[in-house]
Amino acid sequence: MSKVWFITGVSSGIGAGVARAALKAGDKVIATSRNLDKARHALRDVADENLAFVKLDVTSEAQVNTAVEDAVARFGRIDVAVNNAGYCLLGNFEEQTLPQIEAQFATNFYGVVHVVRAVLPVMRKQRSGHIINIGAAAGVIGLKHCGAYSATKFAIEGLAFSVGIEVEPFGVKFTTVEPGAFRTDLLDSQNVRYVPSSGIEDYAGDATSEATWSSYHGVQPGDPDKLGAAVVTVAAMENPPKIFVAGTDAIAMIASGIEGRLNPDRRTDLSDHPQLKTKGPDTMKKIAFGAAAAIALTLTTTAYAQDSRPPGYMIANYTIKDQAGYNKYMEEAGPLAPKFGGKIIVFNLNATAVEGEPKKVMAIAEFPSLADAQRFYNSPEYTAARKFRVASTEGSVIITEGFVPPKQ
């Protein structure tokens, strides 16, 4: 059965990519934008009887309500609502004015609130629906000059987690997409809002936000059309992820940020924490990885979408403090994964950036199931090898399922 999509911000980038992919899948799309000329131009190659354009400023609750009512009147239902409309305010937080910050929230946060409040009654009545909010990696870790922007993205993630609990009994699901750098118009000079220096002496020696960020426009590695296709894949899942981390840069940033929260003093492997030992592997998975990274998907892998049993993964992020000891660990642990049906699919040993600094490691081993990953981790053979790693590194190891890492 085809789906009906209600998408905000389709005039470029991710919104256009999702609309294009949904139409290609045979679905119906209500494509909304403040600028319908730009929206029509963005989707000029996909003219379709299943496509309806609606002028919409998401900061207006009344306009959102009318747009949703019109969508239901035309297509009879709304299966997927994608909150993509937004822009970026960049500058030192102290130099941002309160009206600028309020305007940022009016679009990026309250725009989402208006759409969610408008579509929830429709979806509850249907006893089905999927709300997909386009967040950002900056809404998990925070970035310089992004104070207000990051705050709006943190806010929509919290909103989705909380409201999702309330409406899950009615068949309504939430997914927050956390993209890295994609070639959208977010940093286009017509869209981004750069905050000029206000003359605060302490910031005088720093590069301006415009000087820092403008050079990234148009050269971001992510393809918004591929992300659009991935979002359509997520919407087709019977049990979609609550978090969809899109792009290898986002995965790396978010994994590092979560590791810092979970293990701020970096003293030991999380799996060796007394609470995790006594409460078992299922609790270890929940505590160690948390809701913020329970599932991440790449743009190049879609097989998991129809797989009833997701793979299991052992994900390691740590710093080598004793190279000789780590080499012993690799000699013993390296050959073990295949014995348990696993394989090493990511291994990044970054070159030392500054002489004398220890190396960073990210490694991911994939197993047929979570149970296989846990069986490997708790096996006598790996337990013996793990002693060398615990002694020679600082960082964390996470056991999870459903994570689909980037192809190398």
Residue 331, token pair as written in the block:
């000699």
User: Could you give the 3-state DSSP secondary structure of residue 86?
Assistant: coil
Given the DSSP bridges, would you call strands 343-349 and 360-367 parallel, antiparallel or unpaired? antiparallel
Residue 304 C-beta-side C-alpha neighbours within 13 Å? 24
- DSSP H stretches of helix in 209-350: 209-213, 224-235, 248-262, 274-289, 323-333
Cβ–Cβ under 8 Å, residues 118 and 32: no
Q: DSSP letter at 182?
A: B
- DSSP H stretches of helix in 263-322: 274-289
Q: DSSP letter at 139?
A: G
- From CA 231, how far away is CA 34, in angstroms rounded? 22
Residue with tokens 């118009």: 185
Count the neighbouring beta carbons within 10 Å of the beta carbon of residue 316.
19
Count the neighbouring beta carbons within 10 Å of the beta carbon of residue 237.
17
Strands across the sheet containing 312-320: 343-349, 360-367, 312-320, 393-401
Q: Which of 87, 110, 149, 377 is catalytic?
A: 149
The sign of the torsion formed by the CA atoms of 399, 315, 181, 28 equals negative
For the chain, counts of helices (H) and of strands (E) = 13, 13
Instruction: List 397's β-bridge partners, or say none.
Output: 316
Instruction: List 28's β-bridge partners, or say none.
Output: 4
- From CA 279, how far away is CA 270, in angstroms rounded? 13
Is-catalytic flag, 377?
no
- From CA 231, how far away is CA 352, in angstroms rounded? 36
Residues labelled as active-site residues: 149
